[in-house]
Amino acid sequence: MWIPRSTMFTDFTAAIFFAIVIHKFLMMMIKECGGQKLLLRRFENGRFKISTGPCCCCCLCLPRVRITRRTLFWLKLGTFQFAFLRPVFMFLSIVLWTNGNYTLYSLSPKGAAIWISCFVGVLTITALWPVAIMFQQVRTLLTCKNIIPKFALYQFILILNHLQTAIINVLAMQRIIPCAPPLSSSARGAYMTQQLLIMEMFLITLMSRVVYRRRYDDLEPPECTAEEAVDNKQISKIILNGAVSEDGLPRV
């Protein structure tokens, strides 16, 4: 707020944090289901609905995908690439900005800002898609763990951190936000963005503490299959009948 030229560095820090949050939110949903192994057991006959936002919400004809280790790997890779590449692009932006080759509000195709913004936009959409797919699958199962309020807070952070900032930047570029010496229009836009985010994130932090900082009961283990149930019954009968010796071998 007090040093407008530090906006690039504050955005760099916030971008790293939010990129990691997206990946950790996906991992949290998997862990809340008991981990990857139990998740695969719970949904061994289930299928992921991939016709969801932000990529394919209008493509209702897309087939459902089986829930396997491979599909879980691709979902985790989709969020991990954002956690890895977003800081790289932000670091590249800062390097170009210090050399005078990067202007945040420049939309010229010859400039680096428009290309980096497009790449980051594609990475963001690619990372948000796996989170939405997983949420659609587990929201009923994790209702007891308040997964819907958690996801709502996650969406609020996404909207405020990206959409709100983009709208204010556009207004600053069009000079709708007037300059107020010594601050230019762009500096005033960044100033207003930081003011709003500080207040909004403080309120979201308070709500997040209510949802996250509490203990939830573990989910009941998934029901065993019919073959496992039969095997367990046979083993219990053998033990009850005393047909097993002390060394673990069957008695003749």
pLDDT digits (tens, 9 = 90+) for 220-251: 777 654 444 445 555 555 555 554 444 444 55
SS3 250: strand
Q: So what's the pLDDT on residue 234?
A: 58
Query: What does the pLDDT read at residue 245?
Result: 46
Report the amino acid identity of residue 179. C
Segment 157-168, tens digit of pLDDT:
888 888 888 888
CA distance linking residue 117 with residue 129, whole number of Å = 18
Which residues are within 8 A (CB) of 139 and not within 5 positions of it... i.e. 6 or more apart?
Answer: 147, 148, 151
**Residue of 76, 219, 65 lying closest to 141 (CA atoms):** 219
* Residue 203 pLDDT: 92
Which pLDDT score is estimated for 183?
76
CA distance 56 to 194: 32
pLDDT at 155: 87
Give strand ranges (E) for the chain: 47-48, 65-66
**In which residue ranges of the chain is pLDDT below 50?**
225-230, 243-249, 252
Tokens for 181, please give them. Answer: 């010496």
pLDDT at position 252: 46
What's residue 247's pLDDT? 47
Please choose, from the candidates 135, 129, 137, the residue with its C-alpha nearest in 3D space to the C-alpha of residue 148.
135
Nearest residue to 31 (alpha-carbon basis) of 230, 175, 218: 218
Looking at residue 229, its pLDDT comes to 45
Q: How many helices (DSSP H) and strands (DSSP E) are in the chain?
A: 8, 2
| pLDDT of the residue at 202 | 92
Q: How far is CA 120 from the centre of its chain?
A: 15
Start-to-end Cα distance in the chain? 84
What pLDDT, on a 0 to 100 scale, did the predictor assign at position 226?
44
Residue 51, amino acid: S
